Amino acid sequence: MTLEEKALIRMKPDISKLRSAGFEEKNEYFIKTAVFMNGDFLAELRVYKDGRIVGRVIDVAAEEEYLPVGSSARISPYVSLVREKYIEALRELAKPAFFFQPFVSDQANRLARYLYETFGEEPDFPFLAKTGDDITGVFRNPKNRRWYGLVMHIPRSKLTKLHRDDGDFVDVLNIKHDDKSIGELISATPGIYPAWHMQKKHWISVILDDTLPDAAVWGLVCQSRDFTLIGKPKNRTKNPN
């Protein structure tokens, strides 16, 4: 993931708003710039028509790209400051023409839209005040405030156990499921794992990377929501295979 993608991790461009937001249209992309750090540097943001986002920092005096800002090596306090101000500049450039999404992955954001359109329910972020975590979102049943879904952004290896520190992060959904069929569901269904960080007897984890189709995820979430109500949950789960 590039520095620009990290800076705008949950922001997506609205192509229809780029021109009115001051982006200049080129053949393959739209571009907008802004100076920062008292005019010493220029932040350049490009939005390609296929949705890709590319940025650069230009050293104004040298009239060339300032490469240290994107280095993965240990950087000096000055370069760290340039990077911080560059990220701020990128977010200001993007703000008028980008829209915010609650989660990182497309499937997690589609899930949020589905639950809002179906039940009028939106995620809340209970760890924001204490830890600053604004990515871990909770879906609650409004009748009793019980959780029926938890979306986290974690290393894929936490679930697969195949690699360590490979930098591959994914959105993961924890949901309730019937205790008697959890083992069978996990063994038979790609993308479903024993619950990470929650009681494995009652919960499962679903990787939201489109391994499992939307319809199957929606069905499992609706069933989880039903588990938060008094009585036996309705059978809304669609076959995830």
Q: What does the pLDDT look like over 141-157, one tens digit per residue?
A: 999 999 999 999 999 99
CATH 3.90.1150.30 domain extents, the chain: 106-227
- HSE value, Cβ hemisphere, 13 Å, CA-based, for 207: 20
Q: Which residue has the higher pLDDT, 225 or 130?
A: 225
Question: In which region does residue 38 sit, left (phi positive, over 0), alpha (psi from -120 to 50) or beta (all else)?
Answer: left
Query: How much is the average pLDDT of 215-233?
Result: 86
| Average pLDDT estimate for 40-52 | 94
CATH of domain 106-227: 3.90.1150.30
Q: Cα separation of 71 and 127, whole Å?
A: 31
CB 34 within 8 A of CB 43: yes
Alpha-carbon distance 87 to 84, whole Å? 5
Whole-structure pTM value: 0.73
- Contact (Cβ atoms closer than 8 angstroms) between residue 37 and residue 85: yes
Residue 231 has pLDDT above 80, yes or no: no
Mean pLDDT, the chain, as a whole number? 91
Burial of residue 53 (number of CB atoms within 10 Å: 0-12, 13-18, 19+): buried
Kindly report the CA angle at 214 between 112 and 168, in degrees rounded to 5? 80
